[in-house]
């Protein structure tokens, strides 16, 4: 028997709707997943929802299971957790916001014991954070600064703060993020009080001001890793002043490719599986918003993208 599924589509700048689609029964090597939760990656999904994906990036910015084409209409997202129909196994998939979906068995990963389904939606962002930390070359004992306390920046700080001997500080414009930093076990500072002389700086605020702060925090011959994706438009980078005298290095990091030094040994599936394992700490629940019902998403997406929660959480009929 076929099944009618509902998915969230962005149909114009700032406008979305739920659309129905028919799913045939899963075939050999396929599974049907009943979604429990999905998470919104606010940085990228805001650009998609507002129609600010540059035409030059239409191909590279496609999500693995995206429907439609940029700019609109498009079914976008990559953080879904659900139960496999018939077995009840909880799995993670890089899939858009949809109440049921069908995938190849090798396109889903089991959620490890000790990781609640709601927290598992952070897996894609944790994969980005892990890759960025690899790109940074950070090691035990380093002074590490992370600028931008969104989901990715907070996860980078969380990982960095657990390396032996590191001094990790999370920087954000919002004083309320100090409580988040405490929950994650790292230091916090506003930009005006950001520490100087860091060994490694990672920037994830997607703003020119944040990039300026990141460069100002870097010590002599330090690396500044840029995780932000800005979409359309130009971003000013303050490359005067001490940038050249200190011989700073500005490095891009993007999750589409595994970090260079690990690429021969780490296929994407291994990296994503490790990201799921790294979500066992209950402290990470501080990143999740109160769940919003999937059926209300068209009316609430704009507000969720603009809201204060690092990771807006969507609950489906089977979720809490």
What are the sequence ranges of the domains in the chain?
A: 3-121+288-315, 126-262
What number does CATH give the domain 126-262? 3.40.50.720
Is the predicted pLDDT of residue 318 greater than 70, yes or no? no
Residue 1: the pLDDT is: 78
What number does CATH give the domain 3-121+288-315? 3.90.180.10
Residue 319: the pLDDT is: 65
| pLDDT tens string 45-94 | 999 999 999 999 999 999 999 999 999 999 999 999 999 999 999 999 99
* Average pLDDT taken over every residue of the chain: 96
> Is residue 269 within 8 Å of 277, Cβ to Cβ?
no
| pLDDT tens string 180-218 | 999 999 999 999 999 999 999 999 999 999 999 999 999
The percent of residues above 90 in pLDDT, for the chain, comes to 94
Residue 268: the pLDDT is: 97
Cα–Cα distance between 92 and 292 in angstroms, integer?
19
Cα–Cα distance between 302 and 49 in angstroms, integer?
8
Across the range 295-307, mean pLDDT stands at 96
Total Cβ atoms within 10 A of residue 21: 15
Residue with the bigger pLDDT between 299 and 320: it is 299
The candidate with the shortest Cα–Cα distance to 301, out of 2, 13, 4, 109, is 13
Angle (CA) 268 142 260, round 5°: 25
Task: For 283-309, give one letter per residue: b (16+ CB within 10 A) or e.
Answer: ebebbbbebbebeebbeebeebbeeeb
Is the predicted pLDDT of residue 234 greater than 90, yes or no? no
Residue 99: the pLDDT is: 98
The two three-digit tokens of residue 227, written as one number: 């995780």
From residue 125, alpha-carbon distances to 48, 64, 102, 130, 240 in Å are 17, 15, 22, 9, 32
Cα–Cα distance between 115 and 311 in angstroms, integer?
16
From residue 76, alpha-carbon distances to 46, 69, 311 in Å are 11, 10, 16
pTM of the predicted protein model: 0.96
The two three-digit tokens of residue 3, written as one number: 């099944």
Across the range 260-266, mean pLDDT stands at 97
| pLDDT tens string 5-37 | 999 999 999 999 999 999 999 999 999 999 999
Banded model confidence at residue 320, pLDDT cuts 50, 70, 90? low
Cα–Cα distance between 277 and 260 in angstroms, integer?
22
Q: How many CA atoms lie within 13 A of 199 on its CB side?
A: 15
């Amino acid at each position: 028997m076929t099944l009618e599924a509902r998915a969230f589509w962005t149909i114009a700048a700032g406008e979305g709707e739920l659309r129905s689609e028919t799913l045939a029964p899963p075939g050999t090597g396929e599974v049907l997943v009943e979604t429990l939760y999905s998470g919104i990656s606010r940085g990228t999904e805001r650009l998609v929802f507002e129609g600010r994906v540059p035409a030059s990036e239409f191909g590279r910015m496609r999500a693995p299971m995206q429907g439609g084409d940029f700019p609109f209409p498009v079914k976008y997202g990559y953080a879904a957790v659900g139960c496999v129909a018939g077995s009840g196994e909880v799995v993670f998939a890089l899939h858009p916001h949809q109440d049921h979906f069908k995938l190849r068995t090798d396109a889903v990963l089991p959620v490890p014991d000790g990781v609640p389904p709601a927290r598992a939606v952070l897996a894609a962002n944790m994969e980005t954070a892990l890759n960025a930390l690899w790109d940074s070359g950070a090691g035990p004992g380093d002074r590490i600064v992370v600028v931008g306390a969104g989901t990715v920046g907070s996860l980078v700080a969380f990982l960095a703060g657990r390396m032996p001997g590191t001094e990790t500080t999370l920087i954000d414009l919002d004083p309320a993020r100090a409580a988040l930093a405490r929950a994650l076990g790292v230091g916090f500072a506003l930009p005006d009080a950001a520490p100087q002389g860091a060994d490694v700086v990672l920037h994830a605020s997607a703003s020119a001001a944040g990039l300026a702060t990141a460069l100002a925090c870097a010590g002599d011959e330090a690396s500044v890793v840029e995780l932000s994706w800005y979409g359309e438009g130009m971003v000013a980078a303050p490359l005067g002043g001490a940038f050249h005298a200190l011989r700073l290095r500005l490095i891009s990091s993007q999750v589409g490719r595994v970090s260079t030094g690990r690429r021969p040994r780490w296929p994407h599936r291994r990296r994503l599986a490790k990201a799921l394992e790294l979500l066992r700490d209950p402290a990470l629940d501080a990143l999740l918003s109160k769940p919003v019902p999937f059926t209300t998403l068209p009316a609430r997406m704009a507000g969720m993208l603009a809201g204060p929660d690092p990771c807006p959480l969507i609950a489906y009929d089977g979720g809490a």
